[in-house]
Amino acid sequence: MSVERLIGAGLLAVTGLILARLLVRAVRVLQTYSGTSKRRQEDVTASAPEPEPDTAERVASLGTLGYRQIGTTQTVLPIGVQYGRIMAATDEASYAIVVDAPQGVPVLAAIYSSWPDGTWIGTMHPSGDPHQRPGLELSVSSGSLEDAVAGHRAAIERLRLAHGHPRPIARMADVLALDADYRQRFGGRELRPLVVRALAPTVALLVLWVISLCVFLTMP
């Protein structure tokens, strides 16, 4: 075997191993996305582990902004169990979910409100993907948590004019019912941009690997 073919074989082997790991991750991403409409949060308030320090800090901050913790949920995903700390607004017009995150990753908080006619709004902080479609308006607030809460409350007041009062949220049962409604109504379609970005490196490497294999096979 020539030196060129030896080097090519080594590169194909290394990139093949990397590609295999990325393909496993891609399958999990697709499984997570495709199962969104059928998946449900479960109330595990009595048995959930203590939140990570960053999560507890975010929960405490929301507590100073008109929210009270009412419980904890778990969502079983292909990549593992995800815990969410659920907080209801004192005016019962919205609820917030604070999701545990790996160390070094900003803790995500999302605030939601829903109306009896099926209209939903959500505000994500500090990152996420804005999304708009009939009946759903998701926005991202990258400023302070106070800004995110204020922005969501302003959106509620704007929509009151056309849709009336939001559905009241006071107990975990209210949140679980709304979670089921959200998943059935929208089925995770707002996650498509995230899925595309997550799969893009795998697709790019797969194309590169196939091209490299074709070149390798034609080498003398």
pLDDT value of residue 39: 76
How many domains does the structure of the chain reveal? 2
**pLDDT for residue 219:** 67
Confidence band for 8, pLDDT divided at 50, 70 and 90 = low
Which DSSP state fits 51? P
Domain with 15 in it = 3-32+199-218
Q: Quick one: pLDDT band at residue 20, thresholds 50, 70, 90?
A: confident
User: What is the average per-residue pLDDT within 103-119?
Assistant: 88
Q: Is residue 194 part of a domain?
A: no
Regarding whether 104 and 60 lie in a shared domain, the answer is yes
Same domain, 88 and 176: yes
Q: Which amino acid is at 156?
A: I
Q: Is residue 22 domain-shared with residue 61, that is, in the same domain?
A: no
Is residue 97 over pLDDT 70?
yes
1, pLDDT greater than 60? no
Cβ atoms of 23 and 202 closer than 8 Å: yes
Weakest-pLDDT range from 12-16, 151-155, 196-200: 196-200
Domain co-membership, 90 together with 8:
no
* pLDDT > 70 in the chain, percent: 78
Task: Specify whether 84 is located in the same domain as 145.
Answer: yes
**Given this model, what pLDDT does residue 82 score?**
85
For the segment 169-190, the average pLDDT, to the nearest whole number, is 85
Higher-scoring residue by pLDDT: 144, 12: 144
- Strand 120-125 versus strand 136-140 pairing type: parallel
Q: Name the most confidently modeled range: 95-109, 173-187, 206-220.
A: 173-187
Torsion angle (degrees, nearest 10) of CA 86, 193, 25, 54: -30
First-last CA distance in the chain: 9
Tell me: do 53 and 26 sit in the same domain. no
Which residues touch 193 (CB under 8 Å, ≥6 apart)? 129, 131
| Amino acid type, 94 | S
User: pLDDT tens digits for 43-67?
Assistant: 999 999 999 889 999 999 999 999 9
11 within some domain: yes
Of 120, 123, 121, which is closest to residue 110 (Cα–Cα)?
123
Checking if the pLDDT of 176 tops 60, the result is yes
Q: Is 191 a member of any domain?
A: no
Q: What is the pLDDT of residue 166?
A: 96
Q: Is the pLDDT of residue 144 over 90?
A: yes
